[in-house]
Structure 1
Amino acid sequence: MFFFFFFFPNLFSERLAHAMEKQNMDAKSLATLTDVSPTTVRRWLNGTYEPRHINLPKVARVLNVSADYLCGIES
């Protein structure tokens, strides 16, 4: 998974922002629902960080998308 992000660093953040927009969710709400800080979510959105392996399924579940979608493996 880290290999994928190395070549497409902004894809996760773009997909995350799109999924959040579809759910009408802001960074603070996503942070609360996934037990991370709002700063962490903002870092995901600006492409500074990607979620840890334990957080990716939580994010996908909360946003009602697959982890593969967020990672760019599926459309």
Structure 2
Amino acid sequence: MTTFDWRQVRRWWSVRVSALGALLFALLTAFPDQALALWMDLPAGIRAWIPDNIERAIGAALFAAVLVARLIPQEEDDGE
């Protein structure tokens, strides 16, 4: 079993992408009125172009991005 220093976790791209997804979800949950206002401020042509189930697509894209980020070799620690 490999051990690692938990302080290095912040460098991993999979953790960064997961944190971005969590932040996006938290912001949309905390400020739903602003999210709706932002949606209504978009031009009608752009709103028509965006599919109705965009939240599922964003979730799936973030999940796929985390998987890809875990497969990419991370740089070695340079002694930080």
Provide TM-score, normalisation by structure 2. 0.32
By relative contact order (CA 8 Å, sep 6+), the higher-ranking structure is 2
**Structure with a larger share of its residues in helix:** 2
